[in-house]
Amino acid sequence: MTLALVVLLTILTHVAFAGSRVAVSLLALSLGASPFIVGVLGALFALLPMLFAVSAGRAIDRLGLRGPMLVGAIAVTIGSALAFVWPTLGALYVVSTLVGSGLMLFHIAVNNATGAIGHPTERPRNFSLLALGFSTSGFLGPVVAGIAIDSLGHAAAFLLLALFPLVAATLLASGKVPLPRLPASEHKSDRHVMDLLRLRPLRHVLLISALFSMAWDMFIFAVPIYGAGLGLSASNIGAILGAFAAATFAVRLGLPELTRRMREWQLIAVALAIACVIFAGFPLFEHVPVLLALSFVLGLGLGMSQPMVMSLLYSAAPAGRSGEAVGLRTGLVNFGQVSMPLLFGAIGLALGIAPVFWTMALALAAGTAFARQRR
């Protein structure tokens, strides 16, 4: 029951985040923003998380789960609602920062909660179920945002998105959602992030996790720009992103069977290879059915890896420092989320959006070779 409620809270909060990322891009484009400005807005979702994720993880290790989860859900609610009150390009800078920071805090806490539920042997299953929750909200967010924009307009879409984390915040504030206790730290003083980076298995997981996140976020960033350039409607763009999320959900349903047949690093290598091929071919097509199919296949590839990455990360972290380890991962991932949209936005402005996809394909090819060595 605890895990089910944690997954429910995750879905409610993440719907607004996933939908806001699409809605922010589409509203900015409708206001005349360039691809570089859209890249800046995408980077702002990750700027404060990049700077404060490790500190947030340490605070969660020390303070527990409920307070940080509540604060995170409230921040996502306020950030989404702000674009309804003030639907301007200037407001979107604040919206991106608030929603991204709130989701960061919630994300670290909810992963800590999932790792602390049940026996260590149940972690792959627990993280697979949490990943199913993220896939559900990752599908609903873009689809809800796209349909709401076409039907009600950009501002009303943000108000609708804000209702989801508001429900999560209300449930957390009521105190009726049971949350696990975190294990005590074996080292209560003289903590340093380099202590974690000296752990070789943890370094490998952090590196590959950052690459997966970069591919995931670059796809979410580039599809609205590519779709808008083709003249696609917001509903079509939302459907393409929704197909990606639906595939992550589908593949995670079969993860228990996959993990019995293949080791973690084998799954990761396959996922990277699939993503590399899809990124290389995506900008060569313009018809919606083909783009939907490619998006779905990409979701199958990237979706199979995330639960395994989080399970390996939690297992590699020292006792009592899982929040800090997840925070370190979040900080590194968000460094990529800050720098990559700016880089890809600049490339898109100078050369067009196709080189953005091909640059990512090259990085994924290198990651595939690295993962094959880790097997």
pLDDT at position 102, please? 93
Q: State whether residue 178 is helix, strand or coil.
A: coil
- For residue 245, the enclosing domain spans 2-174+198-374
Q: Two tokens at 203?
A: 């370094």
Domain assignment of residue 56, yes or no: yes
* pTM of the predicted structure, to 2 decimals: 0.72
Q: Which residues of the chain have pLDDT under 50?
A: 187, 189
Letter string b/e over residues 336-354, b meaning 16 or more CB atoms within 10 A of that residue's CB: bbbebbebbbebbeeeebe
In a domain, 317, yes or no: yes
SS3 of residue 324 by DSSP = helix
Place of tokens 């199913």: 132
Residue 188 lies in a domain: no
pLDDT (0 to 100) of residue 328:
78
pLDDT in tens, 7-35: 999 999 999 999 998 899 889 988 888 87
pLDDT at 10: 93
pLDDT of residue 184: 58
Query: Tens of pLDDT along 317-358?
Result: 776 676 777 777 777 777 776 777 677 777 776 777 788 888
Q: How many domains are contained in the chain? A: 1
CB atoms within 10 A of CB 164: 25
187 lies in some domain: no
* Cβ burial, residue 222 (10 Å; 0-12/13-18/19+): buried
Is residue 185 assigned to a domain? Answer: no
pLDDT of residue 54: 79
CATH number at residue 315: 1.20.1250.20
Asked whether residue 181 is domain-assigned, the answer is no
Question: What pLDDT score does 224 carry?
Answer: 85
Domain membership flag for residue 88: yes
* DSSP H helix total and E strand total for the chain: 15, 0
The overall average pLDDT reported for the chain is 84
Any domain includes 23: yes
